[in-house]
């Protein structure tokens, strides 16, 4: 059985904190015992302008974030909610940058590694026609979690995908699918993963 993991997703004003992008929404779906057991979601006001194309993509408007709680309050709450629970995101390189940058503004830092369901899906589901989150969920007939490009819906999609990947590993004889195992697996080449699962 997969151990407890906090699956997170940010919606943001741009691609990177290094380019002054800030978060507008965060969603967390905690998985344990093969299902989602807890959730957290909030819009947040970082005082950053949302470009029109991102408003269109996410449905999150400048007016919505103006009336949202301050970013420091939300990030403090969500960091407390997650605690030391291992982290995972789809395309974790993106979400980890925002998680780390926003925690740094609170003089906090994470102690746990991020697993990445995108890297894992590329290695464990090579037959999928696309490894984008929404496409993978449709291809695998996973539950519809709501509007894509909203943080909690995307976090729940990534959580359901992670549970599917854990089942796939167990079918290949991996008895103990832990967060640490997933982090190790995503660092291997696709060829090495295939060889490992055939052994």
Q: Each residue of 24-36: pLDDT tens digit?
A: 999 999 999 999 9
Q: Say if residue 176's pLDDT is above 80.
A: yes
Q: What is the pTM of this model?
A: 0.96
Q: Each residue of 117-156: pLDDT tens digit?
A: 999 999 999 999 999 999 999 999 999 999 889 999 999 9
Beta bridge partners of 5: 31
pLDDT of residue 190: 87
- What are the structural domain ranges in the chain? 5-198
pLDDT of residue 1: 66
Residue 177 structure tokens = 């699918």
CATH fit for domain 5-198, picks 3.30.110.30, 3.90.550.10, 3.30.420.10, 3.10.50.30: 3.30.420.10
pLDDT of residue 83: 97
Which of 99-105's residues contact partners 24+ apart within 8 Å by CB, and which partners? 99/8, 99/10, 101/17, 102/17, 102/22, 102/23, 102/71, 102/75, 103/75, 103/79, 105/72, 105/75
3-state SS assignment for residue 66: helix
Mean pLDDT of 105-115: 96
Q: Say if residue 100's pLDDT is above 80.
A: yes
Percentage of residues of the chain with pLDDT beyond 70: 99
Contact between 175 and 110 under an 8 Å Cβ cutoff? The reply is no
């Amino acid at each position: 059985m997969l151990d407890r993991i906090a699956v997170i997703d940010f919606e943001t004003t741009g691609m990177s904190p290094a380019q002054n992008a800030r978060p507008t929404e965060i969603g967390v779906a905690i998985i344990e015992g093969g299902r989602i057991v807890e959730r957290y979601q909030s819009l947040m006001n970082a005082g950053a302008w949302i470009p029109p194309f991102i408003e269109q993509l996410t449905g999150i408007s400048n007016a919505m974030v103006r009336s949202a709680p301050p970013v420091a309050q939300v990030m403090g709450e969500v960091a407390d909610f997650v605690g030391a629970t291992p982290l995972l995101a789809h395309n974790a390189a993106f979400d980890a940058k925002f998680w780390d940058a926003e925690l740094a503004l609170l003089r906090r830092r994470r102690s746990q590694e991020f697993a990445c369901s995108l890297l894992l899906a590329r290695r464990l589901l090579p037959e999928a026609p696309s490894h984008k989150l929404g496409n993978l969920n449709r291809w695998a007939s996973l539950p519809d979690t709501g509007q894509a490009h909203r943080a909690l819906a995307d976090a729940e999609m990534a959580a359901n995908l992670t549970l599917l990947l854990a089942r796939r590993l167990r079918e290949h004889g991996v008895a103990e699918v832990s967060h640490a195992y997933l982090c190790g697996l995503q660092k291997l080449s696709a060829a090495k993963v295939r060889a490992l699962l055939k052994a």
